[in-house]
């Protein structure tokens, strides 16, 4: 973890001049409201940091080589997308290739989904490959699409990986990888969290980083939730990544209900809704990370209390159906609170 953190921080500095030279920067305009050209190097730095740390512990095992190769594909296509804005079909094709490498190379697959309906363990049987691919693409793109505010995707990924690691401890291979990724995320957040002191070195993770994090979360959860010696039920794993998955599904349903493509960019994500209410990125970040921390805590509580899968899945589904309303109400409350505080200040100033 120390190596992963240190290497990530070192490459965040080292890659900065190269990013400007290669024009691997995010420029303001359109849907982007940040100030100045911001280097998109977080994904590359975290990738190098993670595998520097893992190689010291595990060495070049077949499992690690498989993870390295599949992650490398995602990082490369992510960097190209950050620079050239590739089509969705190209991005999805490479993501499928990465999932297939995981499926056949590591043996990690979604062979069953637990007991979400109280009818017994549901195995995927001949549909294992298809279901694994669909779920993996969902998680990968959920973290990719929610990466629209400073510190958000990294913080949500950090909560998910810490939750899985809390269940499995540092000795389990999957959670050991998860903790290594956590250390790299912390190193990146030093350059991405919305605070004043890091503005001169502010950097983004880009699609390379968000898809890499989504994929590693999928990898870690599969390693912890499948097989005879599983640590946690797949249903509990849903709670650890609730906010990104809710966000993706909500946006897709809304766009299709309006006759739009679900892959069309828009300003209907949770962070957009909250930004319109709070007008402050840090408040939006705090609200969404607090929600994810609450949901992950519910998942952990259900796991350690031995709650049945059907109950946990029913609760997760109900929350998902109401999540957009919850976020919109929070935005309305924040907007009202901001206006009320502003009016109070004016009244106080007038009284003085």
Distance CA 157, CA 139 (A): 11
The per-residue pLDDT for 343 is: 53
For 185, the domain range is 2-351
Distance CA 223, CA 111 (A): 11
- Given a contact cutoff of 8 angstroms between Cβ atoms, the answer to whether 100 and 61 are in contact is no
Average pLDDT over residues 54-70: 82
Average pLDDT over residues 195-221: 94
Q: Is residue 339's pLDDT more than 50? A: no
Residue, of 273 and 161, whose pLDDT is higher: 161
Instruction: Map tokens 């402050």 to a residue.
Output: 280
Find all residues with CB under 8 Å of 210, minimum gap 6, and list them.
Answer: 43, 78, 143, 144, 146, 147, 153
Over residues 265-314, the pLDDT tens digits come to 777 778 878 877 665 788 889 989 999 999 999 999 999 999 999 999 99
Tokens encoding 126: 């001949």
- Given a contact cutoff of 8 angstroms between Cβ atoms, the answer to whether 112 and 234 are in contact is yes
Structural domain count, the chain: 1
- Name the band, by pLDDT with cuts 50, 70 and 90, for residue 138: very high
Q: Mean pLDDT in the chain?
A: 88
- Name the band, by pLDDT with cuts 50, 70 and 90, for residue 338: low
- Name the band, by pLDDT with cuts 50, 70 and 90, for residue 3: very high
**Measuring CA to CA, how many Å separate 61 from each of 54, 57, 58, 162, 202?**
10, 10, 7, 24, 35
Q: What is the pTM of this model?
A: 0.90
Q: What is the full DSSP assignment across 148-184?
A: -STTHHHHHHHHHHHHHHHHH-TTSHHHHHHHHHHHH
Average pLDDT over residues 230-254: 92
- Name the band, by pLDDT with cuts 50, 70 and 90, for residue 340: very low
Average pLDDT over residues 336-347: 54
Q: Is residue 78's pLDDT more than 90? A: yes
Q: Is residue 216's pLDDT more than 70? A: yes
Q: Is residue 200's pLDDT more than 80? A: yes
User: Nearest to residue 245, comparing CAs of 138, 163, 126?
Assistant: 138
| The residue count for the chain | 352
CA 326 to the chain's CA centroid = 20
The per-residue pLDDT for 311 is: 97
């Amino acid at each position: 973890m120390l190596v992963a953190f240190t290497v990530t921080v070192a490459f965040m500095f080292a890659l900065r001049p190269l990013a400007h030279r290669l024009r691997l920067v995010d420029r303001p305009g359109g849907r982007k409201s940040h100030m100045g050209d911001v280097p998109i190097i977080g994904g590359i730095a975290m990738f190098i940091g993670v595998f520097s740390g893992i190689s010291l512990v595990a060495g070049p095992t077949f499992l690690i080589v498989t993870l390295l190769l599949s992650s490398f594909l995602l990082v490369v296509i992510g960097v190209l997308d950050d620079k050239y804005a590739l089509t969705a079909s190209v991005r999805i094709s490479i993501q499928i290739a990465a999932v297939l490498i995981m499926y056949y190379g590591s043996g990690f697959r979604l062979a069953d989904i637990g007991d979400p309906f109280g009818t017994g363990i549901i195995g995927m049987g001949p549909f294992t490959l298809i279901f694994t691919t669909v779920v993996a693409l969902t998680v990968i793109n959920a973290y990719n699409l929610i990466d629209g505010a400073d510190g958000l995707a990294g913080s949500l990924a950090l909560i998910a990986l810490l939750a899985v690691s809390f269940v499995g401890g540092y000795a389990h291979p999957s959670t050991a990888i998860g903790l290594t990724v956590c250390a790299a995320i912390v190193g990146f957040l030093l350059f991405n969290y919305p605070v004043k002191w890091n503005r001169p070195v502010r950097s983004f993770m880009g699609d390379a980083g968000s898809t890499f994090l989504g994929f590693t979360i999928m990898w870690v959860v599969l390693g912890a939730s499948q097989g005879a010696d599983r640590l946690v039920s797949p249903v509990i794993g849903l709670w650890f990544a609730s906010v990104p998955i809710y966000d993706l599904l909500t946006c897709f349903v809304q766009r299709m209900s309006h006759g739009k493509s679900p892959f069309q960019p828009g300003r209907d994500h949770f962070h957009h809704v909250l930004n319109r209410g709070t007008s402050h990125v840090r408040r939006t970040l705090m609200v969404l990370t607090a929600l994810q921390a609450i949901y992950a805590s519910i998942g952990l509580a259900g796991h350690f209390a031995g709650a049945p899968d059907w109950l946990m899945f029913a609760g997760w589904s109900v929350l998902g159906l109401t999540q957009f309303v919850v976020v919109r109400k929070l935005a309305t409350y924040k907007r009202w609170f901001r206006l009320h505080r502003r009016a109070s200040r004016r009244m106080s100033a007038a009284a003085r």
